[in-house]
């Protein structure tokens, strides 16, 4: 796929958040004007409405306001450029490409609450990893819902990769144990493990995830090599408590943010970047339901897709 195509998907995926920002700061984003009193207030409101978060918004305003006052930023185009730089700098620490080690298999757990997009993301990622020349296997560790196993099997067929599964109600740890053994004996490069997002209650869910960890470590004490929390960007600030909850229970190595296309709250990524105790990379972002709607996270493009009026962007696809 062409870069233009990927850029177009990102840009159209972020349309709702961009719209929300533009509504507040349309004059900032569109064209060059003198800055009047209202612009900074509008900007502040717009940042808050897209879930950038109170603290991050305050810090950004504290940086911009004095520069406007000193006339260092004396028109909307200059303010827009300064805002872009600030936003990008905040996202830069989240950028780290997913690295697959040469363990066979590199074991990746996908965790997160129900409906955030774990199974879909595994399906999309399986395709991308294959395109990079990696062999892939899937493990149906969400044994709580029958549909979850079938859904994963469908992605397996679509990508032509093997899926290790047992029936609904099977022991998740035993499914994953089998999958690691099978992947190892076949020399598979990457094992993508789907997990349940809901059990009877939160404690049980976390206990089960910990159990799957322990069991996998009997086969390979360095596994899992990645534990990725999948977050639905539509939940906005609630994503922050999910990060803390899962990280405490299972030591995350990274995040994937989905459904940026369906939400006007893509700003939550800035709040994630500002979390005081948790510093995790965002490996990928999901900008749609189709197999190609998963892209590596990149700070510059992300901010450009959020703020630009389109003139600067490549053709929309």
Ligand X SMILES: Nc1nc2c(ncn2[C@@H]2O[C@H](COP(=O)(O)OP(=O)(O)O)[C@@H](O)[C@H]2O)c(=O)[nH]1
Which residues would be at the binding site for Mg ion (CB under 5 A)?
A: 118-119, 148
Q: Which tokens in the block code for residue 56? A: 């991050």
CB of 211 to Mg ion, least distance (A): 19
298 binds, among ligand X, Mg ion, none (CB under 5 to 8 A by kind): none
Beta bridge partners of 191: 107, 137
Footprint (CB under 6 A) of ligand X, residues 212-231: 230
Residue nearer to ligand X on the CB measure, 162 or 262: 262
CB of 204 to ligand X, least distance (A): 17
CB closest to ligand X, residue no: 286
- 116: contact with ligand X by CB under 6 A: yes
- What dihedral do alpha carbons 45, 264, 77, 67 form, nearest 10°? 40
Give one DSSP letter per residue of 111-149, joined into a string.
E-STTSSHHHHHHHHHHHHHHTT--EEEEEE--S-HHHH
Residue nearer to ligand X on the CB measure, 208 or 261: 261
- From the list 5, 8, 26, 115, which residue makes contact with ligand X (rule: CB under 6 A)? 115
- 118: contact with ligand X by CB under 6 A: yes
Q: Rounded CA gap, 57 and 64, in Å?
A: 11
User: Which stretch, 133-141, 177-185, 285-293, 309-317, contacts ligand X (CB under 6 A)?
Assistant: 285-293
Q: Rounded CA gap, 55 and 314, in Å?
A: 33
Inter-axis angle of helices 299-307 and 76-91, to 10 degrees?
Answer: 140
Is the Cα dihedral 43, 315, 297, 290 positive or negative?
positive
Q: Rounded CA gap, 161 and 164, in Å?
A: 10
CB closest to Mg ion, residue no: 119
Q: Write down the number of H helices and E strands in the chain.
A: 12, 8
293 binds, among Mg ion, ligand X, none (CB under 5 to 8 A by kind): ligand X
12 binds, among Mg ion, ligand X, none (CB under 5 to 8 A by kind): none
CB of 194 to ligand X, least distance (A): 7
- Whether cis (ω within 30° of 0) applies to the bond prior to 224 is yes
**With contact defined as beta carbons under 8 Å apart, do 199 and 208 qualify?**
yes
Footprint (CB under 6 A) of ligand X, residues 121-180: 151
Residue nearer to ligand X on the CB measure, 138 or 230: 230
CB of 126 to ligand X, least distance (A): 13
CB of 113 to ligand X, least distance (A): 7
The owner of tokens 């595994």 is 122
Residue nearer to ligand X on the CB measure, 57 or 119: 119
Please give the residue ranges that form the binding site for ligand X (CB under 6 A).
112, 114-120, 151, 197, 230, 258-259, 261-262, 286-289, 293
């Amino acid at each position: 796929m062409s870069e233009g195509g990927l850029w177009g998907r990102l840009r159209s995926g972020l349309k709702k958040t961009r719209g929300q920002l533009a509504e507040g700061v349309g004059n900032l984003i569109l064209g060059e004007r003198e800055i009047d009193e209202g612009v900074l207030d509008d900007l502040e409101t717009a940042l808050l409405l897209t879930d950038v978060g109170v603290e991050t918004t305050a810090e950004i305003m504290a940086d911009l306001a004095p520069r406007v006052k000193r006339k260092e930023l004396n028109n909307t185009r200059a303010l827009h450029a300064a805002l872009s730089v600030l936003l990008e700098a905040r996202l830069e620490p989240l950028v780290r490409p997913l690295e697959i080690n040469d363990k066979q298999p590199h074991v990746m757990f996908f965790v997160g609450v129900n409906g955030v997009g774990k199974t879909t993301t595994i399906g999309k990622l399986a395709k991308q990893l294959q395109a990079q020349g990696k062999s892939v296997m899937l493990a149906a560790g969400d044994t709580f819902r029958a549909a979850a196993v079938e859904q994963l099997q469908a992605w397996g067929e679509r990508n032509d990769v093997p899926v290790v599964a047992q029936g609904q109600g099977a022991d998740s740890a035993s499914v994953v144990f089998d999958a690691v053994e099978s992947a190892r004996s076949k020399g598979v490069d990457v094992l993508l493990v789907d997990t349940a997002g809901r059990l009877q209650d939160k404690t049980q869910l976390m206990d089960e995830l910990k159990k799957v960890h322990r069991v996998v470590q009997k086969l390979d004490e360095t596994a899992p090599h990645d534990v990725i929390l999948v977050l639905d960007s539509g939940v906005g600030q609630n994503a922050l408590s999910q990060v803390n909850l899962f990280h405490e229970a299972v030591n995350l190595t990274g995040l994937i943010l989905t459904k940026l296309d369906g939400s006007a709250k893509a700003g939550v990524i800035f709040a994630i970047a500002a979390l005081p105790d948790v510093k995790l990379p965002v490996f990928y972002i999901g900008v749609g339901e189709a197999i190609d709607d998963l892209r590596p996270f990149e700070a510059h493009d992300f901010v450009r897709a959020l703020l630009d009026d389109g003139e600067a962007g490549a053709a929309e696809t």
